[in-house]
Amino acid sequence: MPDSRPIGFFDSGVGGLTVLREVIRRLPSESTVYLGDNARAPYGPRSDEEVTRFSAECLDQLAARDVKAIVVACNTASAVALGTLRRRYDVPILGVVRPGATAAALATRTRCVGVIATQATVRSRAYFQAIKDENPFIEVYEHATPDLVPLVESGALEGLMVEAAVRHALGPLLDRREDADDSVFPIPRDAVIDTLLLGCTHYPLLAPVITAQVGPGIAVIDSASATSSALASLLEVNHLLAPTDALPRHALYSTGDLRAFQRTNERLFGSFFPTVEPVALPGAA
Ligand code: DGL
């Protein structure tokens, strides 16, 4: 029996739209509901307890909208809270860490992968573990680059300031010896990566700047495409695919400033997505 209920998507802000866009391209008959917790973004500097509690409050909202599956389109929430969230709801829940890790493990030729992500994601070691699960012989170098999230949330995707922030963020991974390495897990100076995994759903929006800076020798990978493939399999295995002739509906919700979300949404995606609507979380101040 086909199932035309929507798929729920959750991120701390606008970053998860990069995953949603990919899913809509790949599964055009599916309806979707997206919730961005912009009022409390960024999640990256928060404690695991806060990330888990906020994520559960957001997923409660999606569950109340009768979604048939949920994509946690936020690496920080996937890295820190996925187990707790899966225990809390009956619907299948997909995170973005494992699909991204698998894609990176398959992309590297030299078995040397760099990961940029939020502080909470790096602290969790979720990517380190997931890539090692794929291939224990891969060296994984993780670096927290929190300064990039507020840039994307504000719609700043190019220009000198963005280039400088990206250069600074990538310094320790690109063996720029003059850059101080403030990584939680210091990166050896002689590490040479051939694959850079964008371990935060906000970062693909900076991909043109990132790709220009890393140069042609490094493959830049994000979770969006791998996650949409994993979602397609999940729906198929669970007999949850929408009828192929379904007329899909898409809804966007934000806990934060709607005008700012809408501005960023339009700047990033044009008229691809509908107008954002407000949602109030019982737990939020
Ligand atoms: N987009 C999120 C991620 O993938 C979170 C960014 C943040 O809120 O710090 O990690």
Do 123 and 217 lie in one domain? The reply is yes
- Is 112 among the catalytic positions? no
In this structure, the strands spanning 195-198 and 139-144 are unpaired
Do 32 and 129 lie in one domain? The reply is no
Collapsed DSSP state (helix, strand, coil) of residue 35: strand
Do 102 and 218 lie in one domain? The reply is yes
Question: Which of 222, 244, 270 is where one domain is finished?
Answer: 222
Q: Is residue 139 part of a domain?
A: yes
Contact 51, 18 (CB under 8 A): no
Other C-beta atoms closer than 10 Å to the C-beta of 25 total 12
pLDDT tens over the chain, length 285 residues: 799 999 999 999 999 999 999 999 999 999 999 999 999 999 999 999 999 999 999 999 999 999 999 999 999 999 999 999 999 999 999 999 999 999 999 999 999 999 999 999 999 999 999 999 999 999 999 999 989 999 998 888 999 999 999 999 998 898 655 555 566 777 777 778 999 999 999 999 999 999 999 999 999 999 999 999 999 999 999 999 999 998 999 999 999 989 888 988 887 788 888 889 999 887 665
Q: How far is the CA of 78 from the centre of ligand 1 (A)?
A: 10
Ligand 1 pocket, mutate which of 21, 118, 206 (most atoms under 8 A from CB): 118
Annotated catalytic residue: which of 117, 200, 230, 242?
A: 200
Do 210 and 272 lie in one domain? The reply is no
Annotated catalytic residue: which of 17, 33, 74, 226?
A: 74
The CATH number for 25's domain is 3.40.50.1860
Q: Is residue 2 part of a domain?
A: no
Contact 33, 8 (CB under 8 A): yes
Closest to 120 (Cα-Cα) out of 149, 161, 156, 153: 149
Q: Which atom of ligand 1 is nearest to the CA of 12?
A: 8
- The binding-site residues of ligand 1, defined as CB within 6 angstroms of any ligand atom, are 11-13, 15, 41-44, 74-76, 118, 121, 149, 200-202
Q: Which atom of ligand 1 is nearest to the CA of 46?
A: 9
Do 91 and 11 lie in one domain? The reply is yes
Do 154 and 179 lie in one domain? The reply is yes
Do 91 and 230 lie in one domain? The reply is yes
Q: Is residue 31 part of a domain?
A: yes
Question: Which of 180, 201, 222 is where one domain is finished?
Answer: 222
Amino acid letter at 108?
T
- Is 58 among the catalytic positions? no
Per the structure, the complete domain to which residue 134 belongs is given by: 98-222
pTM of the full structure: 0.94
Do 18 and 89 lie in one domain? The reply is yes
Collapsed DSSP state (helix, strand, coil) of residue 221: strand
Q: How many Å apart are CA 85 and CA 89, to the nearest integer? A: 7
Task: Tell the residue nearest (CA) to atom 2 of ligand 1.
Answer: 74
Number of domains in the chain: 2
Do 212 and 265 lie in one domain? The reply is no
